[in-house]
Structure 1
Amino acid sequence: MDILIFSTSVNNADQVQQVQPILTSVQAIQDWNFDLEDCDHILRVVSHDLPPRYIESLLNNAGFECAELAY
Structure 2
Amino acid sequence: MVEVFKTDVSRCDDAQRLIEQIHLKFTDYKANFDLEDCDLILRVQSLNSSIIPEAIISILEQNGFYAEILEDDFQPSVSIFSSLPS
User: TM-score under structure 2 normalisation?
Assistant: 0.73
Which residue number corresponds to residue 57 of structure 2? 56
Q: Cα RMSD between the aligned structures?
A: 1.2
What 5-or-longer segments of structure 2 have no aligned partner? 73-86
Please report how far the alpha carbon of residue 65 of structure 1 lies from its aligned counterpart in structure 2 after TM superposition. 0.4
Between the aligned partners of 2:19 and 2:4, the Cα distance in structure 1 is 16
Structure number with greater Rg is: 2
Which residue number corresponds to residue 16 of structure 1? 15
Greater relative contact order: 1 or 2 (C-alpha under 8 angstroms, separation 6 or more)? 1
What SS class does the counterpart of residue 38 from structure 1 fall into? coil
How many residue pairs end up in the alignment?
69
User: TM-score under structure 1 normalisation?
Assistant: 0.86
Please report how far the alpha carbon of residue 18 of structure 1 lies from its aligned counterpart in structure 2 after TM superposition. 2.3
Matched AA of 2:27:
Q
Please report how far the alpha carbon of residue 60 of structure 1 lies from its aligned counterpart in structure 2 after TM superposition. 0.7
Which of the pair is proportionally richer in strand? 1
Please report how far the alpha carbon of residue 50 of structure 1 lies from its aligned counterpart in structure 2 after TM superposition. 2.1
Percent of residue pairs identical:
36
